[in-house]
Chains A and B, each alone.
Chain A
Amino acid sequence: MSQKECAIVGLGYTPQGKCPDWSVRELFLEASVNAIKDAGMKPHDIDGILVELCWTDPTTQNWSLQMDLGIPELSLSAVYDSMGASPGCQMQVAQWAIQNGICKNVLCAFVEKSATAPAVPYRMSAGPGLAYGLHGAMHGIALAAMRHKMLYGTTSEQLGEVAVTFRKHAQLNPKAQMYGKPMTLADHQNSRIIAEPLHLFDCCLVSDGGRAAVITSGDRAKDCPQPPVYIMGYGQGHVKMDLIERNTLVDTGAGVSGAHAFRTAGIQHKDIDVLGLYDATTHNIITQLEELGFCERGEGGPFVENGRLSIDGEFPTNLSGGMLSETYLQGWTGIPEIVSQLRGHCGDRQVKDAKIGLVTNQGGYIAFHSTLILRR
């Protein structure tokens, strides 16, 4: 590691689930104010803002958040739009700005409003997908999941084990949208099919909510009120947006992204205590475990069996319930949970003595990918 580690020192939340009375701009502000407060800072301490675009209201951006927070001048200000993969990317850019002395404290923020307001489809992949009934991420991911099933024999029960495990975790998280709604493998198998091989319970939730984080230098982190969580390793991997133009439909950017993350962190898979994997569907979990090197290609299905991803398993994953059972705030579901786990603040769902966590984000029909390896 040639440069000093940065740390995540502030997390900001808002109400989540259905928030019809909140505007996108208000959710951005609420999450940001709470993150800055959690970091023990004032808005004027922030000198960088990176906003992940909200497709429901793309007019709320870096500049509007700067104005709402009353920050006269910034050294870094931008919109990030790698869709679900954005927060891992935002935090990497924040880190580079801090390491190079451009910024001291960078605010990263995001809002999702898909539960109560439609997204503006301002950017679609080229080609006549709509004429052929290709509607949104679930259909695209189903095409990838089906190829995985045909190549490797991955079963619906294996996908179901992922869903059931994360739902079990959500029962330990009172803020989860699926808290108080346990699920069995039979429930999963009996849920209606959305697009083969995906059942309803293979697919993530739809949610409103905002989240934000403050990144600072390792030196300043020691003076912040919360236990610092350091960025040990990081990576990104982005394949072509258009499904038919990719080398394969099973490979996402996770392989490249994960390899960068393990190399920069200088650790092995066995060193990871807790995982946060992007779970747009249960298939995403299985293919990422393979691409990140937790198992061989094609072995993701058997790998998740027998509770391996459970809180008491070998690789506890998505303890909040993930996007499948906590809330769909894209990459912002996983990163705050891993930070909270490493802070030791997770109560009933706390992974005992968690020191190192790995968290992934994906976006755009799983074209975009980012990985962070964090330590306490």
Chain B
Amino acid sequence: MTTQFKKPSPGITPETKPFWDAAKRNEFMLVKCVGCGFYRNPVSITANICPECGSRKPGEWVKASGKGRVHTYTAVHRTFDPSFEKELPYIIVIVELEEGPRFLSNMRDAKPEDMKLDMPLEVVFEKVSDEVTVPYFKPAK
């Protein structure tokens, strides 16, 4: 059973739709520059340009490992968004993905005191509505 996603929308745009479509299939995709092979963050793309080499050719969507390490995190104890209140303290994590780019997410299956620099992580998908499946991260097995 799925209910309507109560949290703010991840802001799906035409540029980032392939990422969110893949997430519905439980696949974690990145954009790879066809010019230089640079991997881009898949959810902050606002234009077809490679920030590394300047190529204007649309990037290629490729399946990524979904693995990475803790670059940093914070455990949030106060929020003004009621949709997060039940989860306090929740963990915002910046994951350094194996392929290079960083990805902002939340932790699953971890307490604040478990968090360590460079701790290995892996993606986990949660279907939050018929339209949206959100990738989160958990400690790698």
Residue pair B11, A130 in contact (C-beta under 8 Å):
yes
Chain B residues with Cβ below 8 Å from A195 are: 74-78, 92
Residue pair B94, A132 in contact (C-beta under 8 Å):
no
User: For the complex, is A131 an interface residue (Cβ under 8 Å from B)?
Assistant: yes
Residue pair A135, B81 in contact (C-beta under 8 Å):
yes
The size of the chain B interface, using a CB distance under 8 A, is: 38
User: For the complex, is A6 an interface residue (Cβ under 8 Å from B)?
Assistant: no
Given contacts A132-B92, A242-B44, A245-B41, contact A193 B77 (CB under 8 A): yes
Picked from B45, B71, B90, B104, the residue with its CB within 8 Å of the CB of A129 is: B104
Given contacts A131-B11, A133-B90, contact A196 B75 (CB under 8 A): yes
User: For the complex, is A243 an interface residue (Cβ under 8 Å from B)?
Assistant: yes
Residue pair A196, B46 in contact (C-beta under 8 Å):
no
Q: Which residue on B lies nearest to A142, using beta carbons?
A: B74
Which one, B2-10, B28-36, B53-61, is touching chain A? Answer: B2-10
Residue pair B74, A244 in contact (C-beta under 8 Å):
no
User: In the complex, what distance in Å separates the CA atom of A143 from the CA atom of B94?
Assistant: 8
| B-facing residues in A124-144 (Cβ within 8 Å) | 125-135, 139, 142-144
Which of the four size classes fits the interface of chain A? 20 to 34
User: In the complex, what distance in Å separates the CA atom of A194 from the CA atom of B89?
Assistant: 10
Residue pair A151, B117 in contact (C-beta under 8 Å):
yes
User: For the complex, is B22 an interface residue (Cβ under 8 Å from A)?
Assistant: no
Q: Which residue on A lies nearest to B13, using beta carbons?
A: A126
Residue pair A133, B101 in contact (C-beta under 8 Å):
no
The winner among A145, A197, A245 for most chain B CB atoms within 10 A is A245
Picked from B45, B104, B116, the residue with its CB within 8 Å of the CB of A134 is: B104
| A-facing residues in B83-123 (Cβ within 8 Å) | 84, 87, 89-90, 92, 94, 101-106, 112, 116-117
| Top 3 A-B residue pairs of the complex, sorted by shortest distance between their CB atoms | A128-B10, A147-B72, A130-B8
Given contacts A128-B10, A133-B90, A134-B92, contact A244 B79 (CB under 8 A): no
User: For the complex, is A249 an interface residue (Cβ under 8 Å from B)?
Assistant: yes
The winner among A133, A144, A147 for most chain B CB atoms within 10 A is A133
User: For the complex, is A94 an interface residue (Cβ under 8 Å from B)?
Assistant: no
Chain B residues with Cβ below 8 Å from A232 are: none
User: In the complex, what distance in Å separates the CA atom of A149 from the CA atom of B104?
Assistant: 19
User: For the complex, is B50 an interface residue (Cβ under 8 Å from A)?
Assistant: no
User: For the complex, is A91 an interface residue (Cβ under 8 Å from B)?
Assistant: no
Chain A residues with Cβ below 8 Å from B124 are: none
